[in-house]
Structure 1
Amino acid sequence: MSYTSSHPRPGDLIEIFRVAYQHWAIYIGNGYVIHLTSDGGSGETLSNVMSSSTIFAVVKKERLSAVAGSSKYRVNNTADQIRNRFPVRQILQNAEAQVGNRQKYNVTGANCEHFVKRLCYGKAESRQIAKSLRCGSVCQWLLAVLLLFPWLSLQFVLLLSLLRLLWKMCKNSVPTHLSIIT
């Protein structure tokens, strides 16, 4: 665990840097965050993960140190520059009211970043998904889906290896320059 910015204050958005995506949480004070995460025990399979309507996540209140693990994290309230933030008290009350709730999960429309930004600003949005979709990065999107559900363990490792192999094959088949014949 390590900070990449100052200590968080209640109501701050916390961005946790994973391998190929960022996980998001709301800091509520005393070392705790509230976040949307896999419930890990509801029998989801890879085919369900890839279906946007069948996967569920749960809202949890956990220690920031446990959620971040060895990943770096930072306070990221940059959306304050373009959005009006609800009062901290309202954010904290709304977040606490969600703890324990199971919600449908959709990586492109209802992920952890959408969850915290809806609580803070009243609008669910995800810059990482918007950026990924703008770039047309299908491999990055698939990898993010897989990384969001590490409880898939063996399937995760095998599919990650396959994605890396496919990425290398695709990367090697693209010419580094174009020749124009006139």
Structure 2
Amino acid sequence: MLLALLIAGKLLMKPGGDRPNKEEKITGKQHFWRDKKVKNGYRLQQNLLDDHARILDKDNIRKATGSMSAMEDKFERLASDSFLKPGDVIGVSRKWYDHYGVYIGEGRVIHYADKTKDFGKNVSIYETDLEGFTQGCKDYFVLHFPKAGGPPRKLRSSTDFTENPREGTGIFDFIFKAKYQLFSPEETIKRAKSRLGERSYNLTRNNCEHFALWCKTGVSFSRQVDMALSI
């Protein structure tokens, strides 16, 4: 019983994916850290004691920290010309919920929403620009799908943040049951475009998250709905 409680406590306390990070200069000897990748001034480092990883820039400023799988993905994005890649499932955290869409390249997004806001009388699947999707929010996220499977994780575009709103961790990971495959970026975009004009929005069964995840995985699911119903 004690062992089970300790394991459960560890799972509840350990956030997955892209963990909250405060940019700060790393100084002194770092005995348990080793460079794994170096690219365009960024270094991906792995902790020798666990699966923890971090990203440092050319000035030794910590830009991100989290699981190795998530940090490998974020490292490639930070070290490239654009954080976003065509075929990404992207999202933005509003005050009470996350809004999702599919990035199709050249600053364009396909999502399930009203023409002027996320909700309204004329909700449909349509194409808009990134600014229209984020509605002025500078910090957005991309979903990272771990190599080992399991629930997707948020990769925040920001490199300095104190919390990761509505990131499913701990006990909610046990609730996640979806089994999925990942479509290529080209197929993901094709699937998104195939549903342009659809007007069958349903908050609990066919919302923006259901749509975006279906485009990428073939499975229509929403962790926001699952967590709310579980609570």
Fold-level similarity (TM above 0.5): yes
Q: Provide the C-alpha distance between the structure 1 equivalents of 2:203 and 2:215, rounded to a whole number of angstroms.
A: 17
1:94 aligns with 2:216: no
- Cα separation, 1, equivalents of 2:230 and 2:146: 19
Q: Which has the higher contact order (CA 8 A, sep 6+)?
A: 1
Report the 3-state secondary structure (helix = DSSP H, G, I; strand = E; otherwise coil) of the residue aligned with 1:98. coil
- The count of aligned residue pairs is 119
Q: What residue in structure 2 maps to residue 53 of structure 1?
A: none
Aligned to 1:121: 217
Q: How does 1:104-143 map to 2 (within 5 A)?
A: 104-135=200-231
Secondary structure at the counterpart of residue 119 of structure 1: helix
Q: Which residue of 1 aligns with 2:88?
A: 12
- The amino acid of 1:77's aligned partner reads H
Q: How far off its partner does 1:66 sit?
A: 1.6
- Match of residue 60 from structure 1: 126
CA distance in 1, matches of 2:198, 2:189: 18
Following the alignment from structure 2 to structure 1, what is the Cα–Cα distance between the partners of residues 201 and 229? 18
In the other structure, the counterpart of 1:166 is none
TM-score by length of 1: 0.58
Runs of 4+ aligned residues of structure 1 deviating over 6 Å after TM superposition are none
Task: Return the structure number with greater strand share.
Answer: 2
Q: Which of 99, 102, 114 is the matching residue for 1:23?
A: 99
Q: Where does the alignment leave 5 or more consecutive residues of structure 1 unmatched? A: 45-55, 136-182
Higher helix share: 1
Which 5+ residue runs of structure 2 have no aligned equivalent? 1-63, 65-73, 78-82, 151-179
Give the share of equivalent positions with the same residue, in percent. Answer: 28
Give the C-alpha shift of residue 32 in structure 1: 0.8
> What SS is found at the alignment partner of 2:85?
coil
TM-score calculated relative to the size of structure 2: 0.47
